[in-house]
Structure 1
Amino acid sequence: MTDDHQLTPPEIAAAEPADWRYVLGRLKTRFRTPDFATGSALVADLGSLTAEGRRPQVTLSETDVVVAVPGRADAGITRGDVEAAERITEAARRHGATPDPGGVTQVELGLDTSGPDGLAPYYAALLGSEVQRGEPVDVSGQAPTVWWQTPEPADDGDPLPDPVVPQRWHLDVWVGHDEGPRRLQAVLDAGGRLVSDAAAPSYWVIEDADGNRSCICTPANRDG
């Protein structure tokens, strides 16, 4: 298998490094750092650890470095990306940073609409994004991706109960394959309510005390 061979979801699941999670088309992790200088030093090393054209997306804060490989979610995961992730983990440990894959999160905004074609340019302009495959996508990672959901109920044999409050926007909160149950329990402990687990572990539908719904999503049991 060559380094640029795009891995299938089962191959990604088998090859996923222990300290990384496959989330929304990329390998992603968070490194806890003791100070900003440690994080800065780690970021300075990242350019030499990934293949040309497969640069990571990096977010640096006072206490964390969040890394996604490759930087573009539509680039597909390759064996080279897996090896790059492993090299990044080794570099992080040398710098004294601690992997925290359980904290990996990626948020998308879902909007119920029957006419998405006319909305994509508007939200791309509003969020400073660009339209990719019909959705506003911010390649800098500052704004969440917006995707469209038709208001008709899904024909999956287990429709959701009607919401208590009108709602057209909802959050899709993506986490690693093993984080879903823990994130769900945290939501329930914080006063949330489980609406449906019929599609678990791919996703759980939850709602807050006011009845506003969101989804906790993982890559488990998905084709792509």
Structure 2
Amino acid sequence: MSDATTDPQARLTHDQVLEAGLDDWRKVLDRLKARFRTGDFATGVALVDRIGAAADEADHHPDVSLTYPEVIVTLSSHDVGGITSRDIDLARRISGFAAELGAEADTSGLTELEPALDTSGDGRLGDFYAALLGAESGPGGVVDASGQVPAVWFQTPPGPDDPRGAELPPQDPEQRWHLDVWVPHDEGERRLAAVLAAGGRLVSDAEAPSYWVVEDADGNRSCICTPLDRG
């Protein structure tokens, strides 16, 4: 094993996460994410109890969402801003608990949402949106540590000579917000197909499979993003 896959302080690449063989889990944005179909609330509570005990034992705590039919678990090493061997180890234990309880893993539809605002990116709007959302302003955007609202980031729109905009037809100047919808590496094309079947239009696939630019019937654009081809 490489030093990165055993060093608890080293961020893992997407390829290293795939090599770990976590069939129940997917890398979405900078997090490991899994959904376990419990079928009833009692099984979900039992799974959460086991996750909590293992997390305390490891001193490494995931975000857990419990609803009637499922438990969604998100793992990330916040101190390094990504996925480490600590997340891999805890993910394996959680998958074991789910299997023992008969909760079936389902990776379809796993998603992380990032609203993005086209602006100068100089931080002048950060304090406003932090106050509005009850969050904190940081480099490049706004983050809510409690997880109640998604992170908001500020993107400098491409200028006329920027290659990022070379493949895109002109955008409605009134649209400044867009959604970056992050999905697992094996979900991007399926999500794109669903969007097109629902009446959406493909604006550009020049950066696929890293991301596809799509728009709705009114011309409002969003991006379907994956971790592929990102270095």
Establish whether TM, by shorter chain, passes 0.5: yes
1:53 Cα offset (Å): 4.1
Instruction: Specify the alignment match of 1:76 in structure 2.
Output: 82
2:17 is paired with a residue whose SS is helix
The aligned runs of 1:1-224 (5 Å cut-off) are 1=3, 2-6=6-10, 7-50=12-55, 52-70=58-76, 72=78, 74-153=80-159, 154-156=162-164, 158-164=166-172, 166-223=174-231
Are the aligned partners of 2:77 and 2:84 in contact in 1 as well (CA < 8 Å)?
no
% identical equivalent positions: 54
Give TM-score, length-normalised by structure 2: 0.88
1:102 is paired with a residue whose SS is coil
Aligned in 2, Cα 1:157/1:207: closer, same or farther, shift over 3 Å?
closer
Are the aligned partners of 1:57 and 1:67 in contact in 2 as well (CA < 8 Å)?
yes
Are the aligned partners of 1:30 and 1:103 in contact in 2 as well (CA < 8 Å)?
no
The CA distance in 2 between the partners of 1:125 and 1:71, in whole Å, is 26
**Structure 1 range deviating more: 205-214 or 44-53:** 44-53
1:180-215: CA deviation from partner (whole Å, max 9, x where unpaired): 000000111111110001111110000001110000
1:47-95: CA deviation from partner (whole Å, max 9, x where unpaired): 2334644210111111221111126385332223112111111111222
Are the aligned partners of 2:167 and 2:204 in contact in 1 as well (CA < 8 Å)?
no
**Structure 1 range deviating more: 17-26 or 64-73:** 64-73
1:102 Cα offset (Å): 1.7
The CA distance in 2 between the partners of 1:115 and 1:33, in whole Å, is 43
1:141 Cα offset (Å): 1.5
Are the aligned partners of 1:24 and 1:73 in contact in 2 as well (CA < 8 Å)?
no
1:115 Cα offset (Å): 4.8
Gaps of 5+ in 2: none
1:134 Cα offset (Å): 3.9
The CA distance in 2 between the partners of 1:179 and 1:27, in whole Å, is 14
Give TM-score, length-normalised by structure 1: 0.91
The CA distance in 1 between the partners of 2:181 and 2:77, in whole Å, is 19
Are the aligned partners of 1:72 and 1:139 in contact in 2 as well (CA < 8 Å)?
no
